[in-house]
Chain A
Amino acid sequence: MINRRNFLTTVALGTASAAFLSACGQSSSSSKTGSADNPVTITYTWWGNDDRAERTRKAIALFESKNPDIKVNGNFTDFAGYWQKRATEAAGGGLPDVMQWDLSYLRDYGQRNQLLDLGTVKINTDAFDKSLLPSGQIRGKTYGIPTSTNAFAVYYDPAKLKAMGIAEPDGTWNYKEFNSFLAEVGQKGNGTLFGGTDYTGVWWMFNIWLRQNNIQAFTDEGKLGFSKDDLKKWWNTTAQLRGTPALVGEDKTTQLLPKSPFGSNVTATEATWDNFMAGYLGDSGAKELKLVPVPSDDPDNLGLFLKPSMLMVASAKTKYKDAAARFIDFMVNDPEVGQIFKTSRGVPASKTQRDGTTFEGTDKLVVDYEKSIEKYLKDAPQPPIVGFGTLESSFKRVSSELNYGKLTIDAAADAWFKEAEDLIKQNA
């Protein structure tokens, strides 16, 4: 009996420790380069909708066929969930090898040594506009390579306007004219079509308005450059329109998520980035969508700028630096990749890619739009402060409570300022 018991003990102990050891020792073989027979696998993640997923899969397949020694495992989520996932992975030390990135979060991760210094690997940036590259750099190190540029614009659906007998806008308008345009659409839309979404809830529209009034959003010391009164004034711009058919109700907007009201054919206009064209066309099924500049009370200062719409970054902990660099280089420079994405990531940042891509139809509209505003373009804003992503999403949240009528404009401004000041203090 005792022998059998000892035997069982040994077996149990052995099994337990084997399980324990195998759980600990799961780090994969550390071969840093692959071959066609034994390719290395890198992971790549991006945010976006089905349209972008389809294009990305094509680009990955093309990359793999040209680089048989590397396999790319891709996956995507929507924008909001994307950053929570990355934070979880970063805390656990397991960020994907290559990631699509946003300017809003570059400091959070770059400054905290989570991203690979791409200056240490081979990525060709000769074809890039030299004024664009600094947007991916922090303290002299390059953490992100811009894939493309985008600019803010007002979208509209010409077919819908025509059906209502409303003339197409030409984009030379001030806020008052823009508002009465929204009101007219809402009125003729008869409860089924609204003028637009409340543009004062979009941080970047506010930022553009600040620039139009020659106010800095953030000071060089990383503090807020505008006052509470500026913010109140901004939210007051649409005070008369909230709750009218000029602006789509917040309850509808919420229910349509993750699609936008414009993509769901609920509004006739939308103020947002010009590279959303492909996504909107796909979501709404519209034949044609057009772009005009945002309103400004100063016709000589539209406050517009080109922003890197997306960046490619790599994890600081990636085991496959070379493979990651080759994939990034391919995604930002290869003309065939440009041909796949067209303007859906924005207008390609690399000249090689831009020249290798034929822009037709709506893609041409986006390229033409960016050309048309060239004379108004000013320097891109400072790379946002640490924690900017949080500020941006709380801006959206507070504006939505404003639209629900849960907060007055004064209370909303107080709430946002309190959060912003707290956050800036936290990260100081």
Chain B
Amino acid sequence: MGKQATEMLKGILEGIVLAILSVRPAYGYEITAWLRDQGFSDIAEGTVYALLVRVEQRGLVDVEKVPSEKGPPRKVYSLNAKGQDYLAEFWRTWSFLAERLEQLHQGGK
């Protein structure tokens, strides 16, 4: 992943993570692993963790603590109603941007 991609991703990572959580609840590591599988290789687990903390503080996700074999309980995040509204808004914004950029891209040829 290039520097440009990393910079661009910063603004939309929150939407991506909420979209992942809208499919099914997950804990931080699962989200990072999914992102890496999809080619977002530069994303640190801590970045995702900090992001999850932020959406938790803003009340967009619910958190359930699940005991683990070793170490502290894992925090499993799921999207709640407020988070779903926020995600819907994210997709509207994304569609608008994608459409306009595509026009610009085609027009530039």
Query: Is B truly associated with A?
Result: no
- B residues within 8 Å of A by Cβ? none
- A residues within 8 Å of B by Cβ? none
